[in-house]
């Protein structure tokens, strides 16, 4: 009986050590890899890089308010630096206005518009970011961080409003229409972002955060020269810009 008691005590001690070791590994894993859900508004615009393109005068139209949500994945390299990625849904957009410039005696090319006012209102993207977060300061349970990185956006759908003046001066106006073929957008967009945020620790595993980011595209977002026949125009190099506000929860 005494031997059985000693054996049971030894087995119980070994099991306790293993459970504590496993808990330690789990805690370390949660501190190294973290996942967060996020949601928030986006304030978007499409900005021409030049005031003219070929025979067209180009100007920025109205901005719009969009929305984003998704999941982040963080890998904590050390106490100060974190590599992040994730997967999200973004609604972006903005307006572009073009007008054919005949002041220099230019002749409108076949298949091209005289004027176009396009509001890209619902450009829906599947977004994949990758970047670096850097802890700037820590005050009790609040961590203030800066972040920068790249953003890959895959176009899922596009809708908007447009008013077109054709070569014969007839006018076509549509609202909340699919823009493919009339105001074509590149299927894959890329950009970079920079921003600041703060994270508040609820417990050892969970926290909430808020961040504000500026996102700037670095490739041409629109390709109107590939529009349908009679609806082509030139708008030069158009960059997609956004101010993004995010609220998230780490779990």
Each residue's pLDDT tens digit, 121-177: 989 999 999 999 999 999 889 999 999 999 999 999 999 999 999 999 999 999 999
Q: What is the residue-averaged pLDDT of the chain?
A: 89
Q: Residue 90's CB: how many other CB atoms inside 10 A? A: 23
Q: Residue 30's CB: how many other CB atoms inside 10 A? A: 16
Note whether 186 and 78 are within 8 A (CB): no
Q: 181: left (phi > 0), else alpha (psi -120 to 50), else beta? A: left
Residue 168 lies in a domain: yes
> The CATH number of the domain where 88 resides is what?
2.40.160.20
What is the rounded radius of gyration, in angstroms, for the C-alpha atoms of the chain?
26
Residue 151 lies in a domain: yes
Q: What average pLDDT does this structure show over 203-212?
A: 93
Each residue's pLDDT tens digit, 29-48: 446 899 999 999 999 999 99
Residue 5 lies in a domain: no
Residue 25 lies in a domain: no
Note whether 67 and 41 are within 8 A (CB): yes
Residue 22 lies in a domain: no
Residue 7 lies in a domain: no
Strands 81-100 and 56-60: antiparallel
Q: Residue 201's CB: how many other CB atoms inside 10 A? A: 16
As to burial, measured by CB atoms within 10 angstroms (0-12 exposed, 13-18 middle, 19+ buried), residue 93 is: buried
Residue 20 lies in a domain: no
Q: How confident is the model at residue 1 (pLDDT cuts 50, 70, 90)?
A: low
Note whether 220 and 237 are within 8 A (CB): yes
- Rounded Cα–Cα distance for residues 112 and 71 (Å): 43
**pLDDT for 31:** 61
Each residue's pLDDT tens digit, 174-206: 999 999 899 999 999 999 999 999 999 999 889
* Number of domains the chain contains: 1
- Residue count of the chain: 251
Query: Coil, helix or strand for 183?
Result: coil
Q: Which residues pair with 46 in a beta bridge?
A: 240
Residue 92 lies in a domain: yes
Is residue 23's pLDDT more than 60? no
CA angle 64, 67, 73 (to 5 degrees): 140
Is residue 25's pLDDT more than 50? no
- Check residue 224 and report its DSSP letter: G
3-state SS, one letter per residue, for 39-97: EEEEEEEEEECCCEECCEEEEECCCEEEEEEEEEEEEECCCCEEEEEEEEEEEEEEEEE
Instruction: Give the C-alpha distances (Å, rounded to integers) separating 179 from 63, 77, 118, 224.
Output: 17, 43, 9, 10
**pLDDT for 105:** 84
Q: Which domain holds residue 103?
A: 32-250
Instruction: Give the C-alpha distances (Å, rounded to integers) separating 60 from 93, 163, 222.
Output: 12, 15, 13
Strands 33-48 and 56-60: unpaired
Q: Write down the number of H helices and E strands in the chain.
A: 1, 11
**pLDDT for 2:** 54
């Amino acid at each position: 009986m005494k031997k059985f008691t000693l054996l049971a005590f030894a087995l119980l001690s070994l099991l306790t050590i293993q459970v504590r070791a496993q808990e330690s590994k789990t805690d370390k894993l949660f501190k190294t890899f973290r996942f967060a859900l996020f949601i928030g508004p986006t304030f978007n615009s499409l900005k021409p890089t030049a005031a003219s393109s070929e025979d067209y005068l180009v100007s920025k139209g109205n901005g719009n308010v969009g929305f984003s949500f998704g999941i982040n994945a963080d890998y904590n390299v050390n106490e100060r630096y974190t590599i992040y990625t994730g997967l999200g849904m973004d609604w972006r957009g903005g307006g572009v206005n073009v007008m054919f410039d005949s002041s220099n005696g230019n002749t409108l090319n076949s298949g091209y518009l005289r004027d176009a006012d396009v509001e890209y209102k619902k450009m829906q993207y599947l977004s994949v970011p990758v970047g670096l977060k850097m802890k700037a300061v820590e005050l009790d349970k609040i961590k203030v961080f800066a972040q920068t990185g790249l953003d890959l956006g895959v176009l899922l759908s596009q809708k908007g409003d447009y008013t077109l003046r054709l070569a014969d001066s007839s006018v076509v106006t549509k609202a909340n229409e699919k823009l493919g073929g009339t105001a074509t957008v590149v299927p894959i967009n890329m950009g970079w972002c920079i921003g600041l945020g703060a994270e508040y620790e609820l417990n050892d595993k969970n926290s909430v955060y808020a961040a504000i980011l500026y996102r700037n595209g670095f490739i041409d977002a629109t390709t109107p020269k590939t529009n349908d026949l009679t609806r082509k125009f030139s708008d030069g190099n158009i960059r997609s810009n956004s101010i993004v506000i995010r609220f998230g929860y780490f779990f």
